[in-house]
Chains A and B, each alone.
Chain A
Amino acid sequence: MALPPNTSEAEFASALAEFAAVVGNDWVFSSEEDVALYRDSYSIYWGEPEERVASAALAPANVEQVQQIVRIANKFRIPLYPISTGRNLTYGGSAPTLSGSVVVDLKRMNRILEVDEDRHFALVEPGVSYFDLYNHITERGLKVMLDVPDPGWGSPIGNSLDHGVGYTMAPFRDHFGSHCGMEVVTPEGEIIRTGNGALPGSESWQEYRYGVGPSVDGLFAQSNFGIVTKMGFWLMPLPETFLTGTVTVPRYQDFDALIKEVSYLEDSFLIGMPRYGSPVRGSDFLGGSPAVGRLMENGWPSTDRLEDFVRAERLPAWSVMLPFYGPEETVRASWAAAKRRFAARIPGAAFQDGELSRLPLPRDVAERFPLKPNVGIPALEVFGMVARNPLTDSDPSDGHADFFTFVPRKAAAVSEAARVLAETYAEMGLPPLHNPFITPINYYSRCFIVATVVPTWRDPVKNARSRALFSRIIDRVAERNWGTYRTAPAFQEQAVSKFSFNNNSLLRFQEKLKDSIDPNGIISPGRYGIWPASMRNRRA
């Protein structure tokens, strides 16, 4: 059984007894069997000494219990690691950054405190999942639409605090960006409310997020400055309809013009999240058709070769699916305007009208709707991409580690990122997943993500290979001055080290805050590279 750092078994037993007096014996998990439930199922160090494991877990029922837990942790200098639903798999799951931490499992704090369908916001606790909030809204017929990430078992609070994303209109896809008002238990056990929540009795906590003076909300995301116990979120009014339209363009070199036009529509708030594709690539996700594989056999092809390839395949080089939200009159008008603009700027652009759906979808239609996240329906279907499939049937992975790098919204940047990733795979002796037809993901509306997925295993030999690849990818993209926006604890230190402008002045500033706000270093030590002073020598 792991112990908290610098804590004897007797001290830990005393601390657990005090924790139990707060949350009750049933909600202190300290047996080996129970603590194992807090392992990261997708750990890239599974079963190795470096795997991050908890010493115990506590499941408080309310904010007062969280305050008391924090005070006890200060008394015993025991590190805590709060989780909301603990389902941010590939980013650490429910396991702590520092082994020996006591996980504070907030799943029992699962109240939906308010959903206002006229002012379009929700106020929730950390244990509320997207499934819970969706069911609450649909069962009551409330006229608001959620923005959901791919895994519906995550929580609005956890996902936003991890800078997670969704699929609808730009202001809602950025889940942290669409929050309004937080309640936080500080490392000293005090409750603060941000924005207008600091006004006693405020009726606009979820409507004005800045209050007066400095806004501190950002300190509580991807960090270790407090435990968030409530959070408000702006919601989109339920659109009357949802319409899609798909644009295809014929040539490889049309991608830049396509991106520019889509960005115009996106930044004008005329469309939701565009979904780029490449019909000639022959696959929706990385890889590509055997023909693309043959094209790549002699290294990265020239532009002329790519144009020849596209012509020979007789398929469009690129596509983009555009989603429209609103009354039928406006979505049809927006799609018509979009077609006019593409046709005027890209010779050979072609269009395919999608079906118009009236919202909310009837339940039986919603269950089978192919674009669930685009209309705020939580699901888990994304895991199908990494579940056992005919290609992996003989050796399916046990998990995956996602790597997303951010690049400018330009065709050249996407191509360059794909090439860097392909070269990194080749350098590591692996077949390339990336080719010149890789398309970006546009979760955050103002930049592109180019992604790769590395398998994780419960086999240390295979995991060692995955770690080497993942680490090398971080280094290679950093050589091009690109970073990643989140990663599992195993790589947080390395990812943060790339944001080193002016001798790591940002991290040094964060450390000064840590020393002041959390002098005993009890909240999530090491999360995203921020160590308390007493542990700063742990940094690589």
Chain B
Amino acid sequence: MKTATLAVSFFAAAVSNVGVAQTAPSAENGKVIYNKWCVYCHGAVAPAEGPGALPGTSALSVKYKGRLPAVLEERTDLASEFIRAVVRGGLFGMPITRKTEINDAELADVIAYLTGEKQ
């Protein structure tokens, strides 16, 4: 029984992997990646500015002064190419992110999360 379960699981995983390559980016996985890599600077926990603020959220709060949300996950205007350019090229204090950290598929997932319906 155990062997059979493993075989089914392996098959399901194989199908799933093929599916990932052929289907649209996953906003669900994008949220996981966002929480692993982005949230430490761009999260909503902590004050928007001042002591204890997160650097990305704080910087955007200073920059937009309420015209746009300082928390990225609350934005509805982010363009895919802009997100890609900032992640790969850095912007002000935000450094470049390499593909060994967030690969292209994962970046597509993050973009899907930030540009789509947040969960």
Taking Cβ atoms with an 8 Å cutoff, the residues of A that contact B are 29, 34, 36-39, 41-42, 57, 59, 85-87, 89, 93-94, 105, 107-108, 127, 131, 152-153, 284, 367-368, 370, 379-381, 383-384, 386-390, 393, 396-400
When C-beta atoms are compared, the residue in chain A nearest to B40 turns out to be: A380
Count of CB-CB pairs between chains A and B under 8 Å: 94
Collect the chain A residues with CB atoms within 8 Å of residue B99's CB.
29, 34, 37
- The 8 sampled A-B contact pairs (Cβ below 8 Å) are A41-B95, A89-B95, A94-B98, A370-B52, A381-B46, A383-B93, A384-B55, A389-B49
Stretch at the interface among B9-17, B18-26, B56-64, B110-118: B56-64
User: When chains A and B are docked, how far (Å) is the Cα of A309 from the Cα of B60?
Assistant: 37
Residues of B within 8 A of A380 (CB): 40-41, 54-55
Question: A387 to B58, alpha carbons, bound, how many Å?
Answer: 8
Measured in the bound complex, the distance between the Cα atoms of B45 and A370 in whole Å is: 12
B53 cross-chain contacts in A, Cβ below 8 A: 381, 384
Contact B58 A384 (CB under 8 A): yes
Distance A275 CA – B92 CA, assembled complex (angstroms): 29
Partner of A38, one of B45, B51, B94, B98: B98
Q: Beyond A29-B99, A38-B98, is A398–B92 a contact (Cβ under 8 Å)?
A: yes
Is the Cβ of B93 less than 8 Å from the Cβ of A398?
yes
- B24, chain A: closest CB distance, angstroms: 22
CB-nearest residue of chain B to A59: B100
Q: What CA separation (Å) do A400 and B94 show in the bound complex?
A: 11
Chain A residues, Cβ within 8 Å of B96? 36-37, 39, 41, 93-94
Residue pair A381, B54 in contact (C-beta under 8 Å): yes
Whether A86 touches B90, Cβ cut-off 8 Å, given contacts A381-B53, A393-B62, is no
Q: What 6 pairs between A and B have smallest CB-CB spacing?
A: A41-B95, A388-B59, A383-B55, A107-B100, A387-B55, A387-B59
**How far, in angstroms, from A399 to B94 measured CA to CA in the complex?**
8
Q: Given the complex, which residues of B lie within 8 Å of A89, measured CB to CB?
A: 95
Quick check: A105 and B92 within 8 Å, CB to CB? no
Contacts of A400 in B (CB 8 A): 93
Do B46 and A108 touch (CB < 8 A)? no
Q: A29-B99, A384-B53 are in contact. Are A389 and B58 (CB under 8 A)?
A: yes
User: Known contacts A34-B99, A389-B58: does B93 contact A399 (CB below 8 Å)?
Assistant: yes
Q: Please give me the residue from chain B that is nearest to A389 by CB atom.
A: B62
Distance A108 CA – B90 CA, assembled complex (angstroms): 21
Contact of A368 among B46, B56, B90 (CB under 8 A): B46
Query: Please, which residue of chain A has its CB at the minimum distance from the CB of B42?
Result: A380
The reply to whether A397 and B92 form a contact with Cβ atoms under 8 Å apart is yes
Pick the contact of A107 from B45, B52, B92, B98 — CB < 8 Å?
Answer: B98
Minimum Cβ distance to chain A for residue B63 (Å): 6
Let me know if A396 and B95 touch, CB within 8 A.
no
State which of A39, A127, A368, A386 has its C-beta within 8 Å of the C-beta of B93: A386
Contact of A368 with B92 at beta-carbon distance under 8 Å, contacts A381-B53, A388-B62, A388-B63 already known: no
Question: Which of the listed residues B36, B53, B55 has the most CB atoms from chain A within 10 Å of its own CB?
Answer: B55
User: In the complex, what residue of chain A is closest to B47 when comparing beta carbons?
Assistant: A368
B81 within 8 A of A: no
Query: Is the Cβ of A383 less than 8 Å from the Cβ of B41?
Result: yes
Whether a CB of chain A sits under 8 angstroms from the CB of B101 is yes
